[in-house]
Amino acid sequence: MREIILDTETTGLDPVRGDRIVEIGCVEVFNLIPTGQVFHCYLDPQRDMPEEAFRVHGLSREFLTGKPTFDQIVDDFLSFIGDDRLVIHNAEFDMKFINHELKMIKRQPILMDRVLDTLALARKKHPGSSNSLDALCARYKIDNSRRTKHGALLDGEILAEVYAELCGGRQTALSLQAAEKVVVQEIKTQVGARPQALLTKLSEDEMALHSKLVEKMGTKAIWSYYIKEDH
């Protein structure tokens, strides 16, 4: 299953009072394993950077000036996350900023029913304990020594490891991935390829429409194995 680990950095705590997003980091995971595909950008908030926020993430007004604004990256951002589940630590905070930015440019909000909050998950699994990202890294022996300051992409990469542990551990994720490979291989073996291809009854227009449909399935679709074999 494809999921997107998401984190943001901001100028403060309340978008209604004028705080803005200054960094977005997204990490794609498939069956809890990072695929290496990420979305990352710094954003020009078009306002000052409060000292308390700067101390958290180290992003200065000077550094952010000239970076793209949210409306300039929104299409790439929405395309990357698609319709898949968003996994966020303290999701209410990040989502109120994301949806406020979307509202400002008259885009539809992202509904919370597609969001999984790892803070809530951690509190349920470890009641009465500290469940900050740093505390969870210590609990699960995840190296977060690079995290001298908050950073959206770095925190997303660390959260991907924490999330795997919250779901039962990285070994479980590897087992799921291995099982998927076995299923795909069994299907390929059972279906196989014909010694001689059947003559198609499809028109060129129908073939073109079919190719577009297969392309939309993505590279993980089982159909792509047979497309490669046919060519």
By annotation, the residues acting in catalysis are 150
3-state SS, residue 59: coil
Q: Give the integer Cα–Cα distance in Å for 139 and 23.
A: 27
Is residue 85 classed as helix, strand or coil in its secondary structure?
A: strand
Distances (CA, A) of 3 to 23, 40, 101, 134, 225: 20, 16, 22, 22, 23
- Give the integer Cα–Cα distance in Å for 41 and 104: 19
H or E segment and range at residue 112: none
Q: How far apart are CA 10 and CA 54, in angstroms?
A: 9
